[in-house]
Amino acid sequence: MAQVIVRPAEPDDYKALHRIFSGPRAIAGTLQLPFPRAETWRERLSELPEGLYSLVACVEGEVVGSLGLETSPTRWRMRHVGSIGMAVRDDWQGRGIGTALTEAALDLADNWLNLTRIELRVYVDNAADIAFRFAKASAPGSSRSPQNTPLTSSVMSSLKAIRSLSIL
């Protein structure tokens, strides 16, 4: 497989993100609403809010995955916490894109943002999350999605604990 390059998302990536989040498998594994408009992605990428880091994974110049790392720089008791949301284009799932995005986000969290806790909310049957939950240090809480599918909140108490995770 060609090398995966992770870089910050740019406003011109909106069509690629629209394509990623239009895929039925990609959207099913997120907490996003289906049927996103391309214009919505253009607006989101044109002016990111403070504390939101948007990364994309590229293979041979094509954007095939997206990860958002949201922090709370103005909430004093939450400044050490980041939340991850991620999607990989349907035809690129299971090929290391999620792993590359996660490793880049954890490097950013560990070495640049001084975060000590990362949170990820997913459906309990999300196959890509199994590796994350397997590696995590604390027990998940659970709730129900609007589709009555259980949700889990996987909370890492130490970022160093998941250095070797592999997203399926």
Six-digit token pair at 95? 């090929």
Order of strands across the sheet that contains 117-123: 4-8, 52-59, 62-71, 81-88, 117-123, 150-156, 141-144
List, as own/partner pairs, every contact residues 93-96 make where C-beta atoms lie below 8 angstroms and the sequence separation is at least 24, other chains included.
Answer: 93/25, 93/26, 93/128, 94/168, 95/1, 96/1, 96/4, 96/167
Write down all domains in the chain, each with its CATH number in brackets.
Answer: 4-119 (3.40.630.30)
pLDDT, residue 157, reads 39
Q: State which amino acid sits at residue 153.
A: S
> What pLDDT, on a 0 to 100 scale, did the predictor assign at position 149?
43
128 in the Ramachandran plot: left (φ > 0), alpha (ψ -120 to 50) or beta?
alpha
> What integer pLDDT is reported at residue 35 of this predicted model?
82
pLDDT for residue 166: 36
Contact of 119 with 95, CB cutoff 8 Å: no
What per-residue confidence (pLDDT) applies to 126?
A: 63
pLDDT value of residue 67: 95
Tell me, what DSSP letter sits at residue 113?
S
Ordered per-residue pLDDT tens for the chain, 168 residues: 689 999 999 999 999 999 999 998 888 877 778 888 888 888 889 988 899 999 999 999 999 999 999 998 888 888 889 999 999 999 999 899 999 999 999 999 999 998 988 888 766 666 655 555 554 433 344 333 444 444 444 444 334 443 333 343
Measured at the CA of 35, the angle between CA 145 and CA 128, to 5 degrees, comes to 50
Residue with tokens 């995966």: 4
